[in-house]
Chain A
Amino acid sequence: MAKQVKFLQGNEAVCEGALYAGCRFYAGYPITPSTEVAEILAARLPKLGGRFIQMEDELAAMAATLGGSIAGKKSLTATSGPGMSLKMENLGYGYLTEIPCVIVNVMRGGPSTGLPTGPGQSDVMQARWGTHGDHPCIALTPSTVQEQLNETVRAFNLAEKYRMPVILLTDEIIGHMREAVEMPEPGDLAVVDRKRPTCDPKDYLPYKPEADGVAPMADFGSGYRYHITGLNHLPDGFPSNDGKLAQADEIRQQKKVDDNYDEIVVVDEMMCDDAEILIFAFGSTARSAKEAVQMARAEGIKVGLFRPLTIWPFPDKHLLKYKGKVKRVIVPEMNLGQTALEVERVLKGSPEVEGIFQIDSEPINPITILNKIKGGK
């Protein structure tokens, strides 16, 4: 049977993905250009037995999202730059306490209130390092409306599997554009649920990892009474001041992500095999880059597109294949060079990274990228 195809807005596709993944709780605070996610889920969640709440600010929204997850519901919150800044406090709590949930950041322009209705990609480093302290991070960067849906499902799966908050780092262009989306039937996409304990409650240790580095998580109210704290803690969940143990636990958390690079990191490598020039682009900028690559190929220029769907952890292993192999690497992005720094870190000068950095609230035009390709260094 042919799949159902719907014409969806990017933010709408996030909602479809969340509901498909089993999300049944949303707590948020309105902010352009993410608000449609809240509006749609306010209407849809109750129909599926879920609940929606508009909190008093994003500090509360992030807290309530984590609270909902602790009570056993797959939970989502969506926001943009100013709200993301406020979420940082409790996002860090979510990392240290290992509570699964998904945070959507529909990136807009500028620091502070900035350019509220325009697109941006300036929150890449905030996603990685915005909250204080060392912590693991998974952030996904879709480029199409279909990917908004599919990557939201994947974000929930990764959150549940690795027991941690996962960020969907999208932007105003994809959030607000409309495209045809093939709607997945139940069973088409994998849906992962967190491991829950099966042991005798007396023996439950909420932070004692199993062989995969992840401990089963009990819902509050399910008979496993335990303690959750944002202080560094022992396997039994209770605080400890032992720095050595804290270090070991934080390294263990980071390794949950590092050791599973192959499962977490997805990169779309288009026409890269024979490429002499590599374009590294993510999110809406990757759409322009794709067009530029196609135009350049039509002129016989050997150029390929390296498009990470996972921006954190950074796709080091995928990118290393091109070290010393391609003659040029171009990084277009709607910020002043945040991922370019990472690309430089990986390629270590072979070749030098060339950037196209733009923060004028306009998408980067394919012609701008094509000119850079053709213009030489």
Chain B
Amino acid sequence: MSYDYSKYLRKGKIPHIWCPGCGYGIIMKSMIRAIDSIGWEKDDVVMTSGIGCASRLPGYVDFNTLHTTHGRSLAFATGVKVANPKLNVIAMGGDGDMTAIGGNHFIHACRRNINITCFVFNNFIYGMTGGQYSPTTPKGSRATTSPYGNSDNQFDIAQLAIGAGATFVARTTTYHAVPMEKLMKQALEHKGFSIVEIIAGCPTGYGRKNKLASPAGMIEWQKEHSVAIAQWEKMTDEEKAGKFPIGVLHDVEKPEYVEAYDANVGLS
């Protein structure tokens, strides 16, 4: 039975701007199904984003949507959430948006453990501006600004979030559309700062430069290089080389920011 997305899509705003073969459509659909499965009222959901291809998503969905400035998605989201904690706030952006220009906001949102869910669309590249290297571009990869191969070291977004204090951290890929929906639901229902890093293909900005141009090939790559966390933990370092774990990587309970603030200042 096919799922009907129309309840959540804004009429007249589709077709979207994403290239054919872009992984972001898969993410949008999983996100819609996850929100639907929780049953939140559309009026109570706020989506914020920064700037980039990923950040265009909120324009297509029928919630309270805030397309902000590059990297500032979480800073705006924090203001919305603290001013009205009843709202379900979801912040999103690309790997560049969240971990380069928005890196400071990212680690501080993790540290506060504010009840916001953050979706990072990691396509290893700056898609919107045409394929410059980002903090997650693999070493040696080609980007328009690394014509000789990338010299930079990479961020591991999930590990960065765990280190900074996020209380729910998961990773998935666009190959895993169904598990993605479940992980998103878990993240959305988690109290505290939750993040899901989603590995996605950018055939236009990353694939072309790195001989992975076929969108299907990029999804194939995700399937071959991702390992479920339970299995990952049993693997030797040699077996892990070049692969990455997916699933729930971190799930702990800690006081939520606004609740803790309210209790502390006598507001609750």
Interface set of A (CB-CB < 8 Å, partner B): 24-25, 27, 46-47, 49, 51, 53, 55-57, 59-60, 63-73, 75, 89-90, 93, 219-223, 225-231, 238-239
Contact = CB atoms under 8 A, between A and B. Distances in A.
B62 to A, nearest CB: 6
Contacts of A64: 75-76, 78-79, 82
A196 to B, nearest CB: 14
B65 A227 contact: yes
B160 interface: no
Given A63-B68, A227-B59, A55 B76 contact: no
29 contacts: A46-B266, A51-B267, A53-B79, A56-B108, A59-B72, A63-B72, A63-B78, A64-B76, A64-B82, A67-B77, A67-B78, A67-B83, A68-B79, A68-B80, A70-B66, A70-B80, A71-B81, A71-B83, A72-B84, A75-B83, A89-B69, A93-B68, A225-B63, A225-B64, A226-B64, A227-B10, A227-B59, A228-B65, A230-B51
Taking each of B44, B58, B267, which has the highest tally of chain A beta carbons within 10 Å of its own beta carbon? B267
Pairs of residues from A and B, 5 with the lowest C-beta to C-beta distance, nearest first: A67-B79, A64-B79, A63-B75, A46-B265, A68-B83
Given A51-B267, A68-B80, A221-B43, 11 more contacts: A24-B83, A56-B108, A60-B72, A68-B79, A68-B82, A89-B72, A225-B62, A228-B67, A229-B67, A230-B68, A231-B67
Contacts of B44: 221
Contacts of B125: none
B87 interface: yes
Nearest to A228: B66
B29 to A, nearest CB: 19
Contacts of A231: 67
B105 interface: yes
Contacts of A66: 76, 79
A301 B84 CA distance: 58
Contacts of B13: 238
Contacts of A239: 59
Contacts of A75: 79, 83
How would you classify the secondary structure of chain A's contact residues: helix, strand, loop or mixed? mixed
Contacts, number: 137
Contacts of B261: 51, 53
B266 A53 contact: no
Contacts of A223: 43
Nearest to B86: A221
A105 to B, nearest CB: 19
B161 interface: no
A60 B78 contact: yes
Contacts of B87: 71, 220-221
A63 B108 contact: no
Contacts of A68: 79-80, 82-83
A241 B196 CA distance: 32
B143 interface: no
Contact of A63 (B42, B67, B69): B69
B78 A55 contact: yes
Contacts of A49: 267
Contacts of B84: 71-73, 219-221
Nearest to B111: A56
A56 B104 contact: yes
Contacts of B266: 46-47
B43 A60 contact: no
A51 B83 contact: yes
Contacts of B46: 71, 220-221
A50 to B, nearest CB: 9
A25 B83 contact: yes
A188 B103 CA distance: 46
A67 B80 contact: yes
B98 to A, nearest CB: 14
Contact of A230 (B67, B81, B108): B67
Given A71-B84, A239-B59, A63 B64 contact: no
A227 B13 CA distance: 12
Contact of B76 (A25, A67, A73, A226): A67
A25 B105 contact: no
Contacts of B104: 56-57, 60
B51 to A, nearest CB: 8
A60 B80 contact: no
Nearest to B62: A225
Identify the interface centre among A46, A67, A70, A222: most chain B CB within 10 Å of its CB: A67
A108 B247 CA distance: 51
Nearest to A219: B84
Contacts of A93: 68-69
